[in-house]
Amino acid sequence: MTNKTKLVLIGNGMAGVQTLEHIIKLAPEKFDVTIFGKEPHPNYNRIQLSYVLEGSKTMEDIILNDYAWYEERGIRLVVGDEVVAIDTERKTVRTAAGLEASYDVAILATGSKPFRLPIPGAELPGVIGFREIADCEAMMDAAKRYRSAAVIGGGLLGLEAARGLQQLGMDVTVVHLMDRLMERQLDAPAAGMLRRELERRGLNVMTGRKTEAVLGEERVAGLRFADGSTLAADLVVMAAGIVPNAELAKASGIETGRGIRVDDFLRTSAEGVYAVGECVEHRGVTYGLVAPLYEQGAVLAKHLCGAETEGYIGSVTSTKLKISGMDVFSAGEFLDAEDTESIVVKDPFKNTYKKVVLRDGRVVGGVLFGDASLSTQLTKWSKAQAALTPEMHGELVGGGGCCGGGAAKGTGVAAMADDDIVCGCAGVTKGTIVGGIREQGWASVEQIKACTNATRSCGGCKPMVEELLKLTLGASYDGAGAAPAGICGCTTMGRDEIVAAIREKRLTHVREAMAVLGWSQPEGCSKCRPALNYYIGMLWPEDADDDDASRFVNERLHANIQKDGTFSVIPRIYGGVTTAKELKKIAEVAEKYEVPMVKFTGGQRLDLLGVKKEDLPAVWAELDMPSGYGYGKSLRTVKTCVGSTFCRFGTQDSMGMGIALEKKFERLNMPAKFKMAVNGCPRNCAESGTKDLGIVGNDGGWEIYVGGNGGIKLRGADLLCKVKTDEELIEISGAFIQYYRETGKYLERTSDWVERIGLDAVRAAVVDDVEGRKALNERVEQALAQLEDPWKRVVDSETLQETLFDKVHS
> What's the pLDDT at 477?
66
Is 647 annotated to bind a ligand? Reply is: yes
Residue partners of 48: CB distance under 8 A and separation at least 6: 57, 61, 62, 322, 458, 459
Q: Residue 530: in which H helix or E strand, if any? A: helix 528-539
Per-residue pLDDT band at 407 (split at 50, 70, 90): very low
Instruction: Calculate mean pLDDT across residues 127-139.
Output: 91
> What's the pLDDT at 485?
62
Whole-number Å distance between alpha carbons of 141 and 622: 33
Q: pTM, whole model, 2 decimals?
A: 0.61
> What's the pLDDT at 678?
96
Average pLDDT score over the chain:
87
Whole-number Å distance between alpha carbons of 802 and 799: 5
Backbone angles phi, psi at 363, to 5 degrees: -75, 125
Is 528 annotated to bind a ligand? Reply is: no
Residue 785 burial by Cβ neighbours in a 10 Å radius (0-12, 13-18, 19+): exposed
Write out pLDDT tens, residues 523-564.
Answer: 788 788 889 999 999 999 887 666 666 666 677 778 887 767
Write out pLDDT tens, residues 458-473.
Answer: 666 777 788 888 888 8
Per-residue pLDDT band at 54 (split at 50, 70, 90): confident
> What's the pLDDT at 15?
94
Per-residue pLDDT band at 254 (split at 50, 70, 90): very high
Alpha helices, H only, 306-422? 375-384, 390-398, 406-415
Alpha helices, H only, 89-230? 133-145, 156-167, 188-200
Is 425 annotated to bind a ligand? Reply is: no
Q: Strand 63-65 to strand 43-44: parallel, antiparallel, or no bridges (unpaired)?
A: antiparallel
Residue 713 has pLDDT above 80, yes or no: no
Q: Residue 689: in which H helix or E strand, if any? A: none
> What's the pLDDT at 458?
66
Sorted by where each starts, the structural domains of the chain and their CATH numbers stand as 5-111+244-305 (3.50.50.60), 127-240 (3.50.50.60), 495-551 (no CATH), 572-785 (3.30.413.10)
Write out pLDDT tens, residues 343-375.
Answer: 999 988 888 999 999 999 999 999 999 888 788
Per-residue pLDDT band at 151 (split at 50, 70, 90): very high
State whether residue 399 is helix, strand or coil.
Answer: coil
> What's the pLDDT at 68?
85
Residue 742 has pLDDT above 80, yes or no: yes
> What's the pLDDT at 547?
65
Write out pLDDT tens, residues 577-620.
Answer: 999 999 999 999 999 999 999 999 888 889 999 999 889 989 99
Per-residue pLDDT band at 88 (split at 50, 70, 90): very high
Alpha helices, H only, 168-232? 188-200
Backbone angles phi, psi at 371, to 5 degrees: -155, 105
Residue 25 burial by Cβ neighbours in a 10 Å radius (0-12, 13-18, 19+): exposed
> What's the pLDDT at 478?
53
Per-residue pLDDT band at 806 (split at 50, 70, 90): very low
Residue partners of 594: CB distance under 8 A and separation at least 6: none
Is 458 annotated to bind a ligand? Reply is: no
Whole-number Å distance between alpha carbons of 753 and 692: 10
Residue partners of 90: CB distance under 8 A and separation at least 6: 102
> What's the pLDDT at 655?
93
